[in-house]
Homo-oligomer: A and B are copies of this chain.
């Protein structure tokens, strides 16, 4: 029933592509765990945020952990799939820093190695950046 090209980009965006989903994930990557904090730091409406978090939990991107029984209270943690989105968030951040944001980058990361983090996406085989001229698709998903 889904139209358009069969494509993992489209499938990924069906999971994390709605408004607020990636921003909620950003806050969770930054260490925020609780609903109210995520709502405030993203600016999302509480009802929409609740729906997004539920969807991300259902999709296996986040895990909802109860940290108190009476009354029940929860924290959100990234799963492995959620942590695997970190390169995408860092890529968006780098792109926003370079092409959208005015002035100093608002957020700075330190890599596990100790250096200030500058993320680059490379070809695993040769180590050169992926967006070199000459990079091209050799198999395409069909359009339905």
A-side residues, CB < 8 A to B, are 2-15, 17-19, 22-23, 26-27, 30-31, 40-44, 59-60, 81, 83-101, 105-113, 115-143
Contact = CB atoms under 8 A, between A and B. Distances in A.
Given A10-B23, A42-B5, A90 B141 contact: no
B119 A120 contact: no
Contacts of A41: 4-5, 143
Give this chain's copy count: 2
A133 B89 CA distance: 16
A112 B99 contact: no
B138 A8 contact: no
Name the 8 nearest CB pairs between A and B, nearest first.
Answer: A8-B96, A4-B43, A106-B141, A3-B43, A112-B134, A12-B96, A87-B121, A115-B125
A107 B143 CA distance: 12
A123 B119 contact: yes
26 contacts: A5-B27, A8-B95, A8-B97, A9-B22, A10-B23, A10-B26, A13-B19, A13-B22, A13-B23, A14-B100, A15-B99, A15-B100, A17-B17, A84-B98, A84-B131, A85-B95, A107-B137, A108-B139, A110-B137, A111-B132, A112-B123, A113-B125, A117-B135, A118-B125, A119-B123, A119-B124
